Structure 1
Amino acid sequence: MSPEATIGDDSKIWHLAQVRESAVIGSECIVGRGAYIGTGVRIGDRCKIQNHALVYEPAVLEDGVFVGPAVVFTNDTHPRAVTPDGRLKSADEWEAVGVTVRHGASIGARAVCVAPVTIGRWALVAAGSVVVKDVPDFALVAGVPARRIGWVGRAGVQLVADADGWRCPETGTRYTEADGTLREVEA
């Protein structure tokens, strides 16, 4: 772990994890074995980064985000080791683009998020998916490339359609859908 990284209270960094310079990890987080947190990455409070996840800069994870084992967040839209004339490409010869993961979202094991993309609040990316476009709040996406196959609530359980819209079978919370977006109904 770099001495230039900032780690919040009660956060735990497991064996062989690498946390780079200027990374900021909030409080009560867990960074699993062999995970990589890139230079300047920002991670909110109460996040879980599972074993061998690769979070490349300039990723931003808001509070309560779950990143499953071996997830990859990319950061280069035109990756090359060398320039067109064959010289080794330097860090100054590309512009890093990042993945943003909004509050409460979960990314399943071995998913790849190809920057630049934003994963919406409380969304769920299924294991093994490849995300190449933004994911709406509460969306359940799966596949290669990832497509919306349903909706999930804050509990992570797939919502059930009924005459009044959508309902979480675990919490009873109600949702309405309009123009491809989902919103919680105020109680």
Structure 2
Amino acid sequence: MGERFFHKLALVESDDIGEGTRIWAFTHVMKGAKIGKYCNIGEHCYIESGVIIGDYCTVKNGICLWDGIVLEDYVFLGPCAVFTNDKYPRSRNKDWELRKTLIKRNATVGAGAIILCGIEIGTYSLVGAGAVVTKSVPDFAVVVGNPARVVGYSCTCGKVILRMSEKGKFKNAKVICPKCSSEFLYKNGSFLPISSISTEHRK
């Protein structure tokens, strides 16, 4: 069983933190936050009550996570990525609406990216550094820019294997990752791993 590590300069008020998780200096984890096992939480982070972080996640330095934000397992958040939970904030507003954000399993959010609230970041997707994400990101998609747009799709290993400029020649065709040989199908605007393609998708 892996021992947890909390730096002596971290303020950890939550009791719901999994084995093997490491929390570094000047990070504040509030009571009511949940962090899974074998996570790495960098320096100068703030994790509010109501945040849920799955297992094996990496939260790099300078990130604030607010109530309503959920990270599934194996999520990577690059340094200084920005999250919100209120679409129309005011300093004092009793009627504000909390909008939840879900970062799905194995997703990567690049350094300095801004993730607006009320959306989902798809499994194995890649959000480029500095992107401003205003709407949900499909599974495996690579998004960049302001506002963020889909420029391609990535393999589970992280390599970009389909660029939107090439999508015509891959329509309804198998796409093979040159790095790890995983196989995908681009069909009807979706990028699907071969192993999960149902009979319906094959029609």
| TM-score, normalization by structure 2 | 0.83
SS of 1:186's partner is helix
The whole-number CA distance in structure 2 between the counterparts of 1:5 and 1:52 is 22
CA contact (8 A) 1:38 1:58 kept: no
- 2:184 is the alignment partner of 1:175: yes
Match for 2:121 among 115, 119, 122?
119
The whole-number CA distance in structure 2 between the counterparts of 1:63 and 1:41 is 14
| Residues 27-73 of structure 1: per-residue CA shift (max 9 Å, x gap) | 00000000111111000000000000121111000000000000011
Shift of 1:2: 4.2
The whole-number CA distance in structure 2 between the counterparts of 1:181 and 1:57 is 31
The aligned counterpart of 1:157 is: 159
The whole-number CA distance in structure 2 between the counterparts of 1:3 and 1:77 is 28
Match for 2:46 among 36, 59, 77?
36
- 2:71 is the alignment partner of 1:61: yes
The whole-number CA distance in structure 2 between the counterparts of 1:57 and 1:130 is 20
The whole-number CA distance in structure 2 between the counterparts of 1:59 and 1:130 is 17
Q: 1:95 to 1:5 in 2, by over 3 A?
A: farther
Matches within 5 A, 1:10-159: 10-81=20-91, 89=92, 92-159=94-161
The aligned counterpart of 1:6 is: 16
The whole-number CA distance in structure 2 between the counterparts of 1:53 and 1:179 is 36
| Residues 59-111 of structure 1: per-residue CA shift (max 9 Å, x gap) | 00000000000001110011111xxxxxxx15x43121121000000000000
SS of 1:176's partner is strand
The aligned counterpart of 1:86 is: none
Question: What are the ranges of 5 or more consecutive residues in structure 1 without an aligned counterpart?
Answer: 82-88
Question: What are the ranges of 5 or more consecutive residues in structure 2 without an aligned counterpart?
Answer: 1-10, 197-203
Of 116-125 and 157-166, deviating more is 157-166
Aligned pair count reads 179
- 2:186 is the alignment partner of 1:184: no
Instruction: Specify which structure has the higher proportion of helix.
Output: 2
SS of 2:150's partner is strand
Q: 1:173 to 1:61 in 2, by over 3 A?
A: same
The whole-number CA distance in structure 2 between the counterparts of 1:180 and 1:35 is 37
- Percentage of identical aligned residues: 36
Shift of 1:169: 1.8
Shift of 1:177: 1.4
Of 16-25 and 128-137, deviating more is 16-25
Shift of 1:4: 3.4
